Amino acid sequence: AAPTGDRVFEYRLRDRRTGVAQAIVYRLDRVDGDRLVFNQGNRVERTGGAVLENKQPSAGDFDAAMPPGGWVSAPPEPGARWSLRYTNRQLDRTLQLELTARTGETSSFQVAGRELQIVRVGFDGYVHRGTGTVLTSGTFKANAWYAPEIGCVVRFDVRSRGGNGLAQFDIDEVVELDRKSTRLNSSHTDISR
């Protein structure tokens, strides 16, 4: 089925160390049952935000370190806490993560003239990063702000450091839904992203 109205989600990925930013655009192409197909099939999600496929990850650690199913794929219970342990492989890069997730406070987020209620989920733990079989260890701390009304993360920040020598890494990124460029039509809640 073709989606009705515009459903374009434009994010800004910014490296907080350098200030370099780039646009990340997700355009809804079609809806297949409860599956939302973005960017000509390169990203597929379920309504509510569960990520099923991401063939062209481009949003830094928001994509590279994402747990199976996404950072938040359903409204989390207040005060909930859970553990995650998983491995992501993309091309020759490997990330192994051991995280504890905790539901935090709620607040609001204004986008496309609408005020959305959001809930913060914090992720804290360790990451092993590398290419091939050589992995270096470090810390990983991230926050995902999830908007249940539209079923997606509207802001994500990550700070990850570790390794040594040539294998040292220092990641400090934020990905945020562009409040001006993103378009949500009035019936957007009928088909959440």
Those residues with Cβ within 8 angstroms of residue 66's Cβ, 6 or more apart along the chain or in another chain: 51, 54, 88
Enter the pTM of the model. Answer: 0.85
How far CA 16 is from CA of 13, 20, 40, 123, 170, in Å, comes to: 9, 8, 30, 19, 11
Report the chain (193 residues): mean pLDDT per 10 consecutive residues.
Answer: 61 95 90 89 85 87 92 90 93 91 94 88 96 89 94 94 89 89 49 41
